[in-house]
Amino acid sequence: MTMNPRKTTIVFKKGITLRNPILIVGLPGIGNVGKLVAEHLRREYKAKKFATLYSPYLPDRVVMLKNGMVKLSNNSFYLLKASKNVKNDIVILTGDAQGISSRGRYEINTKITEFFKEKLKGSFIYTIGGYTPGNTFVKDPKVFGSATSKQVIAQFKGSEVVFGKSKGFIMGSAGLIVAFAKMRHMDAVCLMGETSMLDVDASAAKAVLLVLAKRLNLHIDLSKLDKIIEETAKIIRDLERQVSVGTQLEKLHKEPEAHPSYIR
């Protein structure tokens, strides 16, 4: 299949065989948690790209490459072949952006769900996102979950995933794909790392990766994320010190003189 600039299209390599694949979706969003998780898995296991989604509903921009050329903004599917002790191949979906309109997000995520079920014969979907319960810094992030059924929730019994406590809405692909999977009688779960509303929240991503590692029997080196976490913590400490000093100076300017002078 070739790319059609007028509609959402998935171009994929033919002849690829998959064994009971599961899908992990990690796209840009709150705290970039999903994107961090997907990219970390892709690089850790050197997953190979085998399909690309193009859509007129993605941002109208091209990415400048190191070799001096460009590529159209897209979402890409990568394959992580299962080892002998793992029964499922893993498909990782990540990309430059999500759809820029409600109609676009509906079309793109419908296409993703259909492609995984009908073309790849997939069995289970994980979507990854960020969850913000407030505006305070989260030192030890939890992982919240929302799933397609009670049966899926039961699979996480005894895990660190918290169900039924998160409130509000799941925006974009992380929520829509789970909803569309449910409509097509597929199992799916959204795993949300608790985030402090940072642009890049490596702590939340690490919390989700630890859950995935146990669920999928994966060994994941988290040292690169730990480095980002340390750097982020240092920046936050510096900001807190600056705010503290600023507050103290503000109080000094507002306080009256201890020994006011009078004209007699």
What residues make up the domain containing 240?
A: 224-254
The answer to whether 125 touches 22, Cβ cutoff 8 Å, is: yes
Are 67 and 148 found together in one domain? Answer: yes
pLDDT in tens, 132-150: 887 677 788 999 999 999 9
In the structure encoding, which two tokens stand for residue 45, read together? 């296991």
**Residue 236 binned pLDDT confidence (cut-offs 50, 70, 90):** low
The answer as to whether 148 is a domain residue is yes
CATH number at residue 29: 3.40.50.10900
Number of domains comprising the chain = 2
Q: What is the pLDDT of residue 90?
A: 96
Asked whether residue 4 is assigned to any structural domain, the reply reads no
Taking the C-alpha atoms of residue 218 and residue 41, their distance in angstroms, rounded to an integer, is: 10
Both 176 and 71 in one domain: the answer is yes
Is residue 259 domain-resident? no
pLDDT band at 224 (very low <50, low <70, confident <90, very high): confident
H-helix or E-strand spanning residue 126: strand 124-131
Instruction: Say yes or no: 246 and 181 in one domain.
Output: no
Residue 210 lies in a domain: yes
The pLDDT score that the predictor gives to residue 133 is 80
In a domain, residue 260? The reply is no
The CA-atom distances, in angstroms, between 232 and each of 41, 76, 238 are 21, 28, 10
Residues 228, 133 share a domain: no
The answer to whether residue 37 sits within a structural domain is yes
Average pLDDT over residues 34-55: 95
63 in a domain, yes or no?
yes
Q: Same domain for 202 and 239? A: no
> Could you tell me which of 232, 132, 138, 123 has the C-alpha nearest to residue 187?
123
Domain match, 207 and 237 both: no
- The answer to whether residue 102 is domain-embedded is yes
Average of pLDDT values for 30-48?
Answer: 94
Say yes or no: 94 and 113 in one domain: yes
Are 139 and 250 found together in one domain?
Answer: no
Same domain, 215 and 232: no
- The percentage of the chain sitting over the pLDDT mark of 70, rounded to a whole number, equals 87
Residue whose token pair is 């900001």: 239
Lowest mean pLDDT among 48-52, 93-97, 250-254: 250-254
Structure tokens at 11: 């171009």
Q: What tokens were used for 240?
A: 């807190």
Q: How confident is the model at residue 260 (pLDDT cuts 50, 70, 90)?
A: very low
Please state, rounded to an integer, the average pLDDT across all residues of the chain. Answer: 88
* Rg of the chain, C-alpha, whole Å: 22
Determine the pLDDT at residue 256. 55
Q: Are residues 197 and 249 in the same domain?
A: no
156 and 230 part of one domain: no
Torsions phi, psi for 163 (to 5 deg): -105, 145
Using pLDDT thresholds of 50, 70 and 90, give the confidence band for residue 237: low
Q: Residues 131, 208: one domain? A: yes
The answer to whether the CB of 211 falls within 8 A of the CB of 161 is: yes
Q: Which two tokens stand for residue 16?
A: 């690829």
Mean pLDDT of 170-177: 96
